[in-house]
Structure 1
Amino acid sequence: MYQSLEQFSKSWIFKRNDPKVEPEDLQEIRLLSEQRAGQIWRDYISDEQIHPDHFSDRDWLKKASTQAPDGKLQWEKAWDSDQASLPEGILAHFSAWGDDTTVFFCCHNELVFELPWGVFKRTWKAFLFLDNGPVLVGKKKKQAVQFHSNGWGNLLFRES
C-alpha cells in the first residue's frame, strides 16, 4: 500500500532546510504504491485521464459546477514569502476539516501522497515544488484544490 519516500525521485523536497519539514511530520507523509495511487486517482480524480495535463471537460475538475465561488486564488506569493501558513482562501475553503482528516496530494495516477491535513498545512511549501497541476482532496470530503504552475489555484467541490 505504501512505499518508502526514498523511492520518490524528488524526495529532496522533504529534506530541505527551507522549507523545513520536521521529522515528526515526515513520518506522517506516506507515498502510496503505484497500484494504490492508481486506485485513489481513479476514485477521487479521474477514471479517464492519468495526468492533470490531460484533463478534459468531462473531468469534474474542469466543470463550472464544481468551481467554488471566487475559486481562483494566488498561492505563489505566500509560497515565496516568509509566511508559513497556507493562503487564507485555501484555509477558509477547508475550514470544516479537522487536522486528522486524511488527505491525498495527487500529482498523477502513479504519484499520490497520503497524510493528515494538519501535516499538509505545515508542509505545503515542500509539496508545491510539485506544482504541475496536483490536486489535494480529502478522504470522504467534497472540498478540493488544484495547484497550477502559474502560481494560481482553483478551489473546487468534488462530484460524488
Structure 2
Amino acid sequence: MSYLPLEEFKHAWIFRHQSMPASSEQQALIKPMTAERSNVLWDTFISKNAIHSDDFGKNDWPANNENFSSTINWEARWESDDNDLPLEILDHIDWQDNTTVYYCLNRNQILETTWANFKQCWKNFLFLDDGTILLGKKRDQVLQFHSTGDCKLGIKP
C-alpha cells in the first residue's frame, strides 16, 4: 500500500480546522503517502541526504538560491478572506488542474493531491509551512513555503 487513510495522517486536523474545513470531496483527494513511498519520492526529486529542509546541504538543489527566481509573501493572503493563492504563485505555476502535486513536508511525510485541489485547500496545507516544497509530477516549477510567510518560486533542475 502506497498511501495512508487521511485519518491516519498525524496532521489531518489541518483539513478539519474549524475556521476552514475542507469538504469531504476535497479530503478524499488528499492522499498521505506511506513513509516508504515518501522516502522514494524525496530521494528521487529532493535530496538523498537531507531528512528535512533544515538539513539541505550545498549539493541539494533546494539549497541553491539560483534555482529560485523570486520570493513572495503568502501570509497576508492566507490571513485575508480571499481564498485564492497569491497571483505571483498562479503566474509562476502553469499546471493543468488535474496535474498531480506533492506537498513535501519531510523525507517521511508527503501528501499527494491535484493542483486544482491544492489551489482550493492551500490555506489548510499551509498550516504546515516549515520549508515545505510543492512539486508537480513531471513539472519543473516548484514552490517552497516558509513559516516566515515567504514562498520561494523556483525551477527544479
Match in the other structure for 1:33: 34
Are 1:73 and 2:106 counterparts?
no
Are 1:2 and 2:14 counterparts?
no
Could you tell me how far apart the structure 1 residues matched to 2:62 and 2:88 are? 18
Could you tell me how far apart the structure 1 residues matched to 2:86 and 2:57 are? 27
Of the three residues 149, 152, 155, the one matched with 2:153 is 155
Matched-pair identity in %:
37
Q: Which moved more, 1:130-139 or 1:4-13?
A: 4-13
**Runs of 4+ residues deviating >2 angstroms:** none
1:8 Cα shift?
1.5
Amino acid at match of 1:26: Q
Of the three residues 105, 108, 111, the one matched with 1:110 is 108
Q: Give runs of aligned pairs for residues 11-160 of structure 1, distance below 5 A.
A: 11-68=12-69, 71-94=70-93, 96-159=94-157
Unmatched 5+ stretches in structure 1 = none
Could you tell me how far apart the structure 2 residues matched to 1:83 and 1:56 are? 36
Amino acid at match of 2:128: L
Unmatched 5+ stretches in structure 2 = none
1:48 Cα shift?
1.4
- Measured on the aligned residues, the alpha-carbon RMSD in Å equals 0.9
Give the SS at the match of 1:65.
helix
Amino acid at match of 2:75: E
TM-score (norm 1): 0.94
Per-residue displacement from partner, 1:31-56 (whole Å, max 9, x unpaired)?
00110011111111111111011112
Per-residue displacement from partner, 1:10-40 (whole Å, max 9, x unpaired)?
2111112322311111100000011001111
* Alignment: residue pair count: 156
Q: Which moved more, 1:79-88 or 1:15-24?
A: 15-24
Could you tell me how far apart the structure 2 residues matched to 1:133 and 1:33 are? 20
Could you tell me how far apart the structure 2 residues matched to 1:64 and 1:76 are? 21
Could you tell me how far apart the structure 1 residues matched to 2:81 and 2:46 are? 32
Could you tell me how far apart the structure 2 residues matched to 1:31 and 1:9 are? 10
TM-score (norm 2): 0.96
Amino acid at match of 1:93: H
1:6 Cα shift?
1.3
